[in-house]
Amino acid sequence: MSEDSDSANNENLKELEEILGYKFRDRKWLVRALTHSSFANEQENETRDNERLEFLGDAVLGLVASDLLFAANSGDEGALTRAKSYLVSARYIGKLAKKLRLGEFLWLGHGEEKDGGRGKKSILANVFEAVIAAVYLDGGLEAARNFIVRIYGDAIAEIDKEGLLRHDHKSYLQELIQSKELPAPVYSLVEASGPDHSKQFTVEVKIGGAGPVLARGSGGSKKIAEQEAARTARALIEAGAVDLEAFRRSNSG
């Protein structure tokens, strides 16, 4: 990025620092955090993108979130793991990135710009992690910790570990399955029985809509039945009764 370009964007960087609540000693870290690979690839000079920062930011966020959850809650390992998985998930940090308006400050390539990159959840989640890494490299672990605490607010201290995602087992199951690079779960209605005023629905869930049934669930509505199927499938996976790695290998072979 040229000096003229840096100068032109100086006010934007200052505005973002105010939003973040952190003033960089060396803004090169913030500039790199905001530089998407699509932009870097279009430059004639050797502009560095934010991908390495994403890697570091993910590790820093995981460490700080684990530390804060451990200090603030007395849940068992499983509950703490579920809470951490939720708080550092792309879905959750993508929302935080939107709240911080990070999409407005990104440097994107022309193609990604036209494709709506500023609003993509994956890009927003990645830039959020990159910004955490930028704060860490600029000010150290304590600065990164303070930043994370400020952005998360009371979410970590007040999270309901035991009830976490109790009503959103589908989201948890999808993240669990896609973390193994498998297709998203697909739910199918297999039965609807009983009178109209008290129907019972039965739903089954499969990975990508093909292969063996992971689990079935029943309830007074299709939504409830889907959540029950997801809850059962999740429990089977966590208990080791369903091996997602084996499923992935069989599908890639």
The residues, any chain, with a CB within 8 Å of residue 43's CB and separated by 6 or more, are 1
Q: What is the pLDDT of residue 161?
A: 53
Are residues 240 and 126 part of one domain?
no
Residues 111, 113, 114: CA angle, nearest 5 degrees: 65
Domain-ending residue, one of 123, 158, 193? 158
- The span from the CA of 204 to the CA of 202, in Å, is 7
- If residue 126 lies in a helix (H) or strand (E), which one and from where to where? helix 121-139
DSSP string, 144-200: HHHHHHHHHTTHHHH--TTTTTTT-HHHHHHHHHHTTT-PPEEEEEEEEES-GGG-E
Are residues 179 and 148 part of one domain?
no
What angle, 0 to 180 degrees and rounded to 10, lies between the N-to-C axes of helices 51-72 and 141-152?
A: 70
- The span from the CA of 139 to the CA of 79, in Å, is 32
Q: What is the pTM of this model?
A: 0.63
In a domain, 164, yes or no: no
Using alpha carbons, list the distances in angstroms from residue 157 to 80, 146, 172.
12, 14, 21
Q: What is the pLDDT of residue 1?
A: 45
The residues, any chain, with a CB within 8 Å of residue 106's CB and separated by 6 or more, are 34, 36, 117, 118, 123, 127
DSSP string, 5-39: HHHHTHHHHHHHHHHHT---SSTHHHHHHTB-HHH
Are residues 148 and 173 part of one domain?
no
What is the set of active-site residues? 58, 129
- The span from the CA of 128 to the CA of 120, in Å, is 12
Are residues 131 and 26 part of one domain?
yes
The range of the structural domain enclosing residue 67 comes to 3-158
- If residue 207 lies in a helix (H) or strand (E), which one and from where to where? strand 200-207
- The span from the CA of 124 to the CA of 126, in Å, is 5
- CATH number of the domain at 9, please: 1.10.1520.10
Q: Which amino acid is at 229?
A: A
Q: What is the pLDDT of residue 86?
A: 82
Domain-ending residue, one of 158, 188, 223? 158
Q: What is the pLDDT of residue 160?
A: 59
The structural domain count of the chain equals 2
Are residues 12 and 95 part of one domain?
yes
Are residues 136 and 19 part of one domain?
yes
pLDDT per residue, tens digit, the chain (253 aa), is: 444 455 557 788 999 999 999 999 999 999 999 988 887 777 767 678 889 999 999 999 999 999 988 887 756 677 788 788 888 988 889 989 999 999 898 887 887 778 887 888 888 999 999 999 999 999 999 999 999 999 998 777 666 555 554 446 887 788 888 888 888 999 999 999 988 877 899 999 999 877 789 999 998 889 889 989 998 998 898 888 888 877 777 666 5
